[in-house]
Structure 1
Amino acid sequence: MARPELVIRTTREDDWREVRDLRLEMLRDTPIAFGDTLERALGYEEAEWRTRAKRGESAVQTVVVAIEGDRWVGTMGCYVPDAATGPLLVGVYVTPDRRGGDSGVTDALLDEIERWATGRADTLRLEVHEDNPRARRYYERRGFAYTGHSREYELEPGGLELEMVKRLR
Structure 2
Amino acid sequence: MQASDVTIRTTTADDWQAVRALRLEMLRDFPIAYGETLEHALDAGEANWRLRGARGETEGQTSFVAIEGSRWVGHMGGYIPDATSGPMLVGVYVAPDHRGDAAGVARRLLDAVEDWARDYGTTLRLEVHEQNPRAIRFYEKLGYTLTGRSREYELAPGGLELEMIKPLR
TM-score, with structure 2 as normaliser: 0.96
Q: Which has the higher mean CA deviation after the structures are superposed, 151-160 or 72-81? A: 151-160
Measure how far apart 1:63 and its partner are. 0.3
Distance 1:59 1:140 in 2: 28
2:16 paired with 1:16: yes
Partner of 1:54: 54
Instruction: Report the CA distance between 1:120 and its aligned residue.
Output: 1.1
Q: Output the CA distance in 2 between the equivalents of 1:120 and 1:47.
A: 28
Which residue in 1 is equivalent to 2:45?
Answer: 45
1:84 Cα deviation from its structure 2 partner: 1.0
* Alignment partners' CA distance in 1, 2:3 and 2:79: 31
- Give the letter aligned to residue 164 of structure 1: M
SS in 1 for 2:31: coil
Structure 2 CA distance for aligned equivalents of residues 143 and 3 of structure 1: 21
Match of 1:95 in 2: 95
**2:10–2:65 contact (8 Å) kept in structure 1:** yes
What SS is found at the alignment partner of 1:81?
Answer: coil
SS at match of 1:32: helix
CA–CA separation in structure 2 for the residues paired with 1:124 and 1:168? 7
Alpha-carbon distance between aligned partners in 2 of 1:162 and 1:2, rounded to the nearest angstrom: 32
Consecutive unaligned residues of structure 2, counting only runs of 5 or more, are none
In the alignment, the residues of structure 2 paired with residue 83 and residue 73 of structure 1 have an alpha-carbon distance, to the nearest angstrom, of 32
* Partner SS state of residue 84, structure 1: coil
Matches within 5 A, 1:47-126: 47-126=47-126
Whole-angstrom distance in 2 between the partners of 1:54 and 1:84: 24
Alpha-carbon RMSD across the aligned residues, in angstroms, is 1.4
Separation of aligned partners in 2, 1:40 and 1:30: 15
1:56 aligned partner, one-letter code:
G
Q: Render the CA deviation track for 1:67-109: whole Å, top value 9, x for unaligned.
A: 0110100000000101111101000000111011100100000
1:5 corresponds to: 5
* Residue pair 2:65, 2:72 contacting (<8 A) in 1 also: yes
How many residues are paired up?
169
Output the CA distance in 2 between the equivalents of 1:127 and 1:2. Answer: 29
5+ residue gaps, structure 1: none
